[in-house]
Structure 1
Amino acid sequence: MKISFLLMLERYVKVASGAVYVLFLARYLGPEDYGAYSAGLAVAGLLGVFALAGVDGLFQKKISISKEKSDIFFSFFLIKLVPVLVTTSFYFLYVLYSGEGVDLLIVCFLPFTISLVLSFSYQGLLYEEKYKEIIKISFSIIAISNIFRVFLFFFSEKIELYALAYSMEALLLTVVYSVVFIRQVGIVCTPNYTVLKSIFKDGFPLIISTLIIGSVSKVTLLKVEQSSSLEVVGQFALSMRVVEAALLLAVASSMIGLKALLSNYGTDKYFSQKRLYIRNMYALSFFSMLLTFIFFFFISSFIFGTGYVYSYKNCLLISFLVFFNFIAIYNGRLLVVEELYKFAFFRSLFSLVFFFIFVVYFNESFNLEEALLALLAFWFSSSFIFMSIFKKTRRMFF
């Protein structure tokens, strides 16, 4: 119980650290400059989509059934690294060929893109129950990062340095997590083709699903940038950052419960574990939804300034977005545990249709409300409509 509390505290310290940083950054830069900052982050994030975060959910599953943990680690690393290197190279070659010149802001966000390659290492430490190590690493790096950020606020006005501060924290966390995991299990840097084939076979639907999910929010932001002012881009970007912060609770709590599900899968105890998991899902999702609405309706303009005033309707849309994202994360873990990998792909494809309908319908005026509606259509159809069609998946939220 104490360890679970400390892990949740670690997640919330990250959330609080990021929230304070966004608070000062959004106020300091204003909606327009913060919109430019967020557009650069969206491009780096779009490149990071090719880090195939969908296979991260398989990492605990694979190491739970294999003694060759070093092979599993190196295989995951290769599968995630190669697509990122290829797509990033093509992107910069295209930029140079078009004569636009390389945007320094995007270069400063590249460490964030690279950090996504090693994002699975955190799950490895959770599985190995290296809770104290996780807490020590996180608190130390967050403290160092925040000292650097304070220095920037006093002595620098360059957006690029703020982007670098954000990126380097993300990279350092994943690199140190990986080093600790490697020291625990040992590592032999030789490809195991059997393991690679197994990951591709099980992970391919998850990879495609992740490409879809990762692209949707980034495309939405770039669409808002194209159709609205940078001020609206800043408002949308801030709302997405707060949503991401709220969803850290979903990511952390669902991962903490994952080992119990994997250990008991195929036994009578699994069903009681699953019921507890789903109850936690609803309790935490309603709690996060309520907090999100209160934050945007009553607090955001006070903290971030009058440039970040959200209407009642937009506050509702953002809070429901948190709720359905929360459900999607939780039942996404269950799809992996129960080896329903293809369902993850088909539900993302199914949801993408609804998303495009909204984008096409609001094509002429894609403002903040329309952007939120498009994303809500995606996540509602993904977490609820599609999952309710099939008996196997219906049991993941009823």
Structure 2
Amino acid sequence: MKISILLMLERYAKVASGAIYVLFLARYLGPKDYGAYSAGLAVAGLLGVFALAGVDGLFQKKLSVSKEKSEIFFSFFLIKLVPVLIATSFYFLYVFYSGEGVDLLIVCFLPFTISLVLSFSYQGLLYEEKYKEIIKISFSIIAISNIFRIYLFLYTEKIELYALAYSMEALLLTVIYSVVFIRQINVVSTPSFRVLKSIFKDGFPLIVSTLIIGSVSKVVLLNIEQSSSLEVVGQFALSMRVVEAALLLAVASSMIGLKALLTNYGTDKYFYQKRIYIRNMYALSFLSMLLTFVFFFFISSYLFGTGYAYSYKSCILISLLVFFNFIAIYNGRLLVVEELYKFAFFRSLFSLVFFFILVVYFNESFNLEEALLTLLAFWFSSSFIFMSIFKKTRRMFF
């Protein structure tokens, strides 16, 4: 219990650190410049989609059925690295031949893109129960990065350096997580074609699902940039950053109970573990939804400035977005545990239909509320409507 509390504290520390950074950055830059910053991050995020974060959920699953842990690790690394390198190369070739010139801001965000390749290493440390190592690494990197951020706020106004500070924190965390994990296992093998084939076979639905999920918010942001002002881009980007910060709690809490579910899957005890898991899912989802509404309706304009005042309707949409994102993350873990990988693919494809209908419908006047409603339609149809249709997935709610 003490370790679980410390892990949750580590997650909260990351959330708090990121929230404080966003607070100062959004106030310091203002909605327009923060919108430009966020548009650059969206491009880097689109490249990072090709890191295939969907296969991360398989890492603990593969570790639980194999003794060749180094083979598993390096196979995951390779299958995530190659698509990112290809996508990034194509992007810069396009920029070069189009004559637009390389945007330095996007270059400064590239370490963030690279960090997504190693994002699975955190789950490896959780599986190996290296909780103290996780806590030490996280608090050390948070302290170092915040010292550097304070220096930037005092002595520079360059957006590119703020982008670099954000990116390097993400990269350092995943690199050190990976180094520590590798030191815990016997490195006796390299990537295996057999393992790569297994990951791709089991993970293909998750890969496609992640490509869809990772793209939708970036597409919405870039669509706002085309049809609205940078100020609205900044408001939307800030709301997404706060939502992402809240979702760190969902990601961390859902992974903490994952090993117990994997270990007891196929036994009578599994249903008991599943009930606890679903109970925690609802408790944290409702709490996070309420806190999000209170934050945006009562607090955000005071913290970030009047340029970030949100309407009552926008606050409701953002809080509901947090709730259904939480639900999607939790039942997404259950899909992996119960080996219902194709359901992850089909629910994202199902939701993409609703998403594109609203994107086309709102295309001429894509304001903040319409952007949020478009994303909410995607997550509501993905996490609830689709999952309620089938008996196997319906049990992940009720």
TM-score (norm 2): 1.00
CA separation of 1:188 and 1:44: change in aligned 2, threshold 3 A: farther
| Cα deviations by residue, 1:201-235 (Å, 9 ceiling, x for unpaired) | 00000000000000001001000111110000000
1:180 aligned onto 2:180: yes
Kindly tell me the number of residue pairs found equivalent between the two proteins: 398
> Partner of 1:169 in structure 2?
169
Q: Could you tell me how far apart the structure 1 residues matched to 2:40 and 2:272 are?
A: 45
Question: Secondary structure of 2:106's match?
Answer: helix
CA shift, 1:188, in A, is 4.0
Q: Which residue of 2 aligns with 1:395?
A: 395
Partner Cα separation in structure 2 for residue 255 and residue 53 of structure 1: 14
Given the alignment of the two structures, is residue 240 of structure 1 paired with residue 261 of structure 2, yes or no? no
Which residue in 2 is equivalent to 1:370?
370
> Which amino acid in structure 2 is aligned with residue 130 of structure 1?
K
Structure 1 position 191, deviation (Å): 2.2
The one-letter code sitting in structure 2 at the alignment partner of 1:20 is I
Name structure 2 gaps, 5 residues minimum: none
Q: Cα deviations across residues 111-165 of structure 1 (Å, max 9, x unaligned)? A: 0000000000000000000000000000000100000000000001000000000
Aligned to 1:319: 319
SS in 1 for 2:266: coil
- AA aligned opposite 2:165: A
Say whether residues 1:85 and 2:85 are aligned partners. Answer: yes
- Within a 5 Å distance, the mapping from 1:114-133 to structure 2 comes to 114-133=114-133
Residues 42 and 222 of structure 2 are in contact (CA less than 8 Å); yes or no, is this contact kept in structure 1?
yes
CA-based RMSD: 0.5
Instruction: Give a deviation string over 1:2-24, Cα, whole Å, max 9, x none.
Output: 00000000000000000000000
User: What are structure 1's unaligned runs of at least 5 residues?
Assistant: none
Helix, strand or coil at the partner of 1:186: coil
State how 1:177-216 maps to structure 2 within 5 Å.
177-188=177-188, 190-216=190-216
Identity of aligned residues (%): 90
**What is the rounded CA distance, in whole Å, between the counterparts of 1:308 and 1:173 in structure 2?**
30
- What secondary structure sits across from 1:109 in the alignment? helix
1:209-288 alignment runs, 5 A limit: 209-288=209-288
- Residue 313 and residue 272 in structure 1: after superposition, are their counterparts in 2 closer, same or farther (change >3 A)? same
What's the CA shift for 1:187?
A: 2.3
1:341-380 correspondence runs (5 A): 341-380=341-380
Residue of structure 2 equivalent to 1:140: 140
Q: Distance in 1 between matches of 2:164 and 2:397?
A: 40
Moved more, 308-317 or 184-193: 184-193
**Kindly tell me: are residues 87 and 189 of structure 1, through their superposed partners in 2, closer, same or farther at Cα, counting changes over 3 Å?**
farther
Residue identity in the other structure for 1:285: S
Structure 2 counterpart of 1:251, one-letter code: V
Q: TM-score, normalised by structure 1?
A: 1.00
Contact 2:206–2:344 (Cα < 8 Å) also in 1: yes
- Counterpart of 1:328 in structure 2 is 328
- 5 Å-filtered alignment, 1:12-91, equals 12-91=12-91
Amino acid at match of 1:369: E
Is the 2:72–2:191 Cα contact (8 Å) retained in structure 1?
A: no
